Structure 1
């Protein structure tokens, strides 16, 4: 695996490779809970990567928080994932939750992972092999995955408080402009409106085109407007999902000093002792 994304054509050619694991990381958009996810079909041989119920820290009320390295390793082993596997992640919305899973694996020390560009819609459009997903729990030969946590890829609220005022750091927020400025309400009603001081808004849809990542040259042009050369980049959003989309875009554009604020606005928007701008 040499790139953070792979094409439908690449996956089709390697579909039956014994060292390949395909993960369906589909979740519903928090802003569109009734949207169809084509959940009755999946890519041939895909395994369901349950972000919400298995691969999140269930001891906190903040959604989608990264689990411990031990818990992540154990869940991967149960899913039949080993450290030697090449992993391709997709979701049924094109590119939505799959970059989150890629970031999780990289944060856990597994570099051999990529996002399927265009996700399941692109796979279906190309008439590639699918199968019925009966939603029954599957049993796999136990893997030997072992996480090696990389802290610099994960940022917490305490660090954000410091970094938001740093000259060589930029925080990019993937939420919609309306949520960023508090001109439209948060989908989670318990949260305040607004954004982290000194952060800038890059709605995740700007880096996508019909469910696929825009070409590298277009991503570079988009990001150049933020004057981020040689800066540390911290990505945030509502709950740590779409932040990973714009982080992926930044990586494709050539930026590598990157991390994700894992708690994102689901945490910051409910804290009492942090500043908020509107």
Structure 2
């Protein structure tokens, strides 16, 4: 996988070289944990990469679900993208204000909707700003464009499918949360959830896949992280996390590593940890 693959991951150099391309659409996918005290939209309004649109992960979601930011229905995604001026024929580049944290979730959402011309900005806004590249506080000029969507249902798993995978072992379940949360030694940021992990799941904390400058680690390092956790990269993987956001970091890494089949458990621990009839494991597997 080339570093400047516009379907997966692009560098700040690539984005700077293509910044004025007429069919480029840049998306700010910044998102913060509920207890962070930060407002991603306010941060966007104050400073963003020129031309970027703000993708509100909590709003462009399935409002019918009580779970946080579940993948949006096709019709809602289409209408919101049209309102943001994103449509067929556009190359989309997604970034976030952490480096790589929430941007892969939006990258995955586009791919879930059948849109493949989408990439994550390696290093995100922090690397862009550190390099002295341009930013602005003005909203972009929007020209709507039709979007054709074809939902790829094999890219997402629900709780029933994950429970079956945990029982049958036909899919590996890999958890992106910190090791302390995985082992049940740390409280969950959302109240009311049990502590621990899905029985039989492996732990690959997403933070361990990111360099100090916010860029994704090399393919060699990514592969080593999964293999050290006991993940067989030749077999199917379901990625999970706290609420389906950082699971997509694992999904991005698995795409880069050429894993043949991988999907995101959208409800993740926000769902599994809520239901007492679902078994929970603690400690190391």
Q: Which of 264, 267, 278 is residue 274 of structure 1 equivalent to?
A: 278
1:204/1:229 Cα in 2 relative to 1: closer, same or farther (>3 Å)? closer
C-alpha distance in 2, partners of 1:192/1:167?
Answer: 23
C-alpha distance in 2, partners of 1:192/1:239?
Answer: 14
1:240/1:227 Cα in 2 relative to 1: closer, same or farther (>3 Å)? closer
Aligned equivalent of 1:105: 110
CA displacement at 1:224 relative to structure 2: 2.1
Q: Which of 196, 213, 217 is residue 216 of structure 2 equivalent to?
A: 213
Aligned equivalent of 1:256: 260
Q: Which of 43, 46, 51 is residue 49 of structure 2 equivalent to?
A: 43
Q: Does 1:222 align with 2:225?
A: yes
Contact in 2 for aligned 1:79/1:143 (Cα 8 Å)? no
CA displacement at 1:229 relative to structure 2: 3.5
Contact in 1 for aligned 2:170/2:236 (Cα 8 Å)? yes
* Structure 1, unaligned runs of 5 or more: none
Normalised by the length of structure 2, the TM-score is: 0.91
Alignment of 1:119-158 (within 5 A): 119-133=124-138, 140-158=142-160
Q: Secondary structure at the match of 1:213?
A: coil
CA displacement at 1:227 relative to structure 2: 3.7
Q: Secondary structure at the match of 1:23?
A: strand
Q: Secondary structure at the match of 2:48?
A: strand
CA displacement at 1:31 relative to structure 2: 5.5
Task: Tell me the number of residue pairs that the alignment of Structure 1 and Structure 2 aligns.
Answer: 274
Q: Secondary structure at the match of 1:164?
A: helix
Aligned equivalent of 1:62: 67
C-alpha distance in 1, partners of 2:104/2:280?
Answer: 27
* Structure 2, unaligned runs of 5 or more: none
C-alpha distance in 2, partners of 1:227/1:174?
Answer: 13
C-alpha distance in 1, partners of 2:240/2:35?
Answer: 16
CA offsets, 1:132-165, max 9 Å, x none? Answer: 257xxx6622220121100000000000011113
1:133/1:33 Cα in 2 relative to 1: closer, same or farther (>3 Å)? farther
Q: Answer 1 or 2: which has greater strand percent.
A: 1
CA displacement at 1:99 relative to structure 2: 0.2
CA offsets, 1:1-52, max 9 Å, x none? Answer: 5541100000000000001000001111346334988541100111111111
C-alpha distance in 2, partners of 1:202/1:73?
Answer: 33
Q: Which of 214, 225, 235 is residue 231 of structure 1 equivalent to?
A: 235
Q: Does 1:17 align with 2:40?
A: no
Contact in 2 for aligned 1:29/1:35 (Cα 8 Å)? no
